[in-house]
Structure 1
Amino acid sequence: MTATSIDPTSDLVSVTVSGSAAQVRVTAMGEIDSSSAPLLRRHLDTVLDGGAREVTVDLDLVTFLDSAGLSALAAAHRRAARDDVRLRVLASSRAVIRPLQITGLWELLGVVQVEPGTGSAA
């Protein structure tokens, strides 16, 4: 499985999906806000609809994350927990880490802090 069939990019963010049907990595690059978060959410829903057992959301290359992006991640978490899917979130920049920490999603999602540029290796 490589790039998805759902609009792979918007003006602010690009999202790619890779891995096997059981272990999927969703990688976002750019800004996730109210106009681009629906794209991330559609990708996560598609992956979860596809029967993935483990999903890694790689936010290493995300430069901005607002409440709409946080909401998309929280929705994916709820769905993954309900469907017994392991959801991992990787983050490296303060622009992503800080909103996750402030909202309590850092602990809820069990976010893994990675060194910048190493998300794809984690």
Structure 2
Amino acid sequence: MTALPETPADLVSIDVTGSATSVLVTVAGEVDSSTAPSLRAVVDSALAGGASCLTVDLDGVTFLDSAGLCVLAGAHRRAAEDGVRLRVRASTRAVVRPLQITGLYDLLAVERVRSGAGAA
């Protein structure tokens, strides 16, 4: 298993569930320059593990900056190269708005969920 970069536990939580072929990454808290490396490591690990479907659930994210957007753009690029289906779920304005402004909302085909619905 890959060692994750040190992340302030009070800023973000990242949970990984699923199977070898379908991985769900659930993120809650702030995704910024101090926490994005941990998210990148988790996403990279899931993609390297041979998953055919990767879902990144951002329903619990309260802040998303350019570092987090960069992680998502990189995940999209790598998933496309590897033939992996990438799903991104979001509900809050704090996540949806930066994705829309940068054009990533359409590129990632973000699935808008009801707040609190998560990946259910």
Q: Per the shorter chain, which TM-score range?
A: over 0.9
Structure 1 segment 39-118 matched on structure 2, within 5 A: 39-118=38-117
State how far apart, in whole Å, the 1-side matches of 2:6 and 2:53 are: 23
Count the aligned residue pairs.
118
**Percent of aligned positions with the same letter in both sequences?**
62
CA 91–32 in structure 1, closer or farther in 2 if over 3 Å, else same: same
Task: Letter of the 2:7 partner, please give it.
Answer: S
How far does the alpha carbon of each residue in 1:62-93 deviate from its partner, in whole angstroms, 9 at most, with x for none? 00000000000000000000000000000000
Write the deviation string for residues 14-48 of structure 1: whole angstroms up to 9, x where unpaired: 10100011000001110000010010000000000
Q: Is the 8 A contact 1:8 1:15 kept in 2?
A: no
Distance 1:104 1:28, change over 3 A: same
Cα deviation for residue 110 of structure 1 reads: 0.3
Gaps of 5+ in 2: none
Runs of 5+ consecutive residues of structure 1 not aligned to the other structure: none
CA contact (8 A) 1:54 1:86 kept: yes
* TM superposition outliers: structure 1 runs of 4+ over 3 Å: 4-9
Structure 1 residues 106 and 34, CA gap change in structure 2 (3 angstroms): same
> Structure 1's 6 and 114: CA in aligned 2 closer, same or farther, altered over 3 A?
farther
> Does the residue aligned with 1:48 lie in a helix, a strand or coil?
helix
CA RMSD across the alignment: 1.6
What residue is the counterpart of 2:37 in the other structure?
Answer: 38
Residue type of the partner of 2:97?
R
**Distance in 1 of aligned mates of 2:47 and 2:64:** 22
